[in-house]
Structure 1
Amino acid sequence: MIIPKTLSSIFNQEHFAPYPKVLIPQNFVDKRGSIKNIADGKLGDVAVITSKANSVRANHVHDHDWHLSYMVSGSMKYFWKSDMQDNLENSVIVNAGEMVYTPSKAPHKMVFLEDSVFIAISELSRVQENYEADTKRLPDNFFV
C-alpha cells in the first residue's frame, strides 16, 4: 500500500497493512481520557458527515483525491475495488473507532447499517466544484 505523501511521518506502512482499514497511530491515554491522532499532515478537508440507517454514500471514484474515513458512531459496510477494471468486489464492516483508507482511482461505496457519524479526511478541498470535477459517479449496480 502506498501511504499518501501528504500525511506526516506519524503514519507508516504498518498502519496501512490491514487495508482498507487503517491502524490509528499515537494513541495517548491518561486519567483524563484519550487522544487519537486520526490524521496529520497537509490535508485539504475534514468533514463531519451524518448518515441515516440503510443510506448509501459514495458509490463513486476519484481521479486524484484520497480519503480517510473515521467512524465516530454507528457502523457501515464499506465496498471497494482496486480500480475500475477490477472484477473482484471487496467489503468490510467498519465500526465506531475504526478508520478506512480509500486511495485515488479506487471505486468505493458506503452502506450505513445504523444511524452513523463519520469524519471524512481528504487531500483535496471539498469545495463543491473541485469535488465534483474529481468525482465520477458509478451506476447503482456497480457493486452488488
Structure 2
Amino acid sequence: MLKRWSAQRSAAGQPVAVGEWERAKQSYVYRAEIGVHLPLPLHGMAAALVASRLNESGLQPHYWCTVGEPVALAADLTALVWAEMNLCTGTLADAIEQPAETATLFERWSLTCAGIIHEHLAHLHGQALRALAS
C-alpha cells in the first residue's frame, strides 16, 4: 500500500520525501494508525464495495482458519481499503465541505482503484497456498 502511494505521488510530480515515508511507515505499518481524512459515511461505502467484490469473487465475508479462529475477511479488507483511501486522498479530502463532493470522490476512487481489492485478495490467496504447502 505504501509503495503504491509513493509511486502515485512520484508519477504526479510530488515525490514522497524520506522523512514523510518514514512517518507513514511508522504510522501505518508499525502502529496501525490510520490518519482519517475522509468523512465517516465513506467507511460504509468502502465496506459495501468490499462486500460486493467478495461476492463477485465467490468469497464469504468470514472464514475459520485451521486452528478454529475466525478470519473476518470483509472487515480486514475494509480496514485495509479505508487506510489506503485515507492515505491516498490526504489533504484533498480534508478540503471537502459538501456531501456530494464526498460521494464524487468515492465514485472516482472506486472506479480507478477498486482493483486494489482484487490485488489484496490475490496476495492473500498466495499466502494461504504457501501456508498450506508448509
TM-score, normalized by the shorter chain, greater than 0.5? no
TM-score, structure 2 length as denominator? 0.24
Structure with the larger strand share: 1
TM-score, structure 1 length as denominator? 0.23
